[in-house]
Amino acid sequence: MGKTTVVINDKLIEEAMKVVGVRTKKEAIERGLRELIKSKMRQTLREELGTYELSLDLKELERMRGE
């Protein structure tokens, strides 16, 4: 693990810490990086899978869930 010095907007990091419920800047930054990675991976997966028309009604969906 490396040590890096960055300049971050104090209000932004404080808001992130409060919203996420962490006590340290390090925790807030690491949580943010993890969420950024997850978001990008989901986006990439959606792009790779593409879209398709799904013509199911509620009854058919419930039947499939039951199987």
* Residue pLDDT, tens place only, 13-33: 999 999 999 999 999 999 999
Cα distance between residue 61 and residue 51, in whole Å: 18
Interior/surface letters 34-44, b for 16+ CB within 10 angstroms, e for the rest: eeeeeeeeeee
When mean pLDDT is compared over 24-33, 40-49, 56-65, the highest value belongs to 24-33
Q: How many CB atoms lie within 10 A of CB 28?
A: 22
Count, in order, helices (H) and strands (E) of the chain: 3, 0
pLDDT the model gives residue 29: 96
19 vs 51, higher pLDDT: 19
Q: How many CA atoms lie within 13 A of 35 on its CB side?
A: 8
pLDDT the model gives residue 1: 83
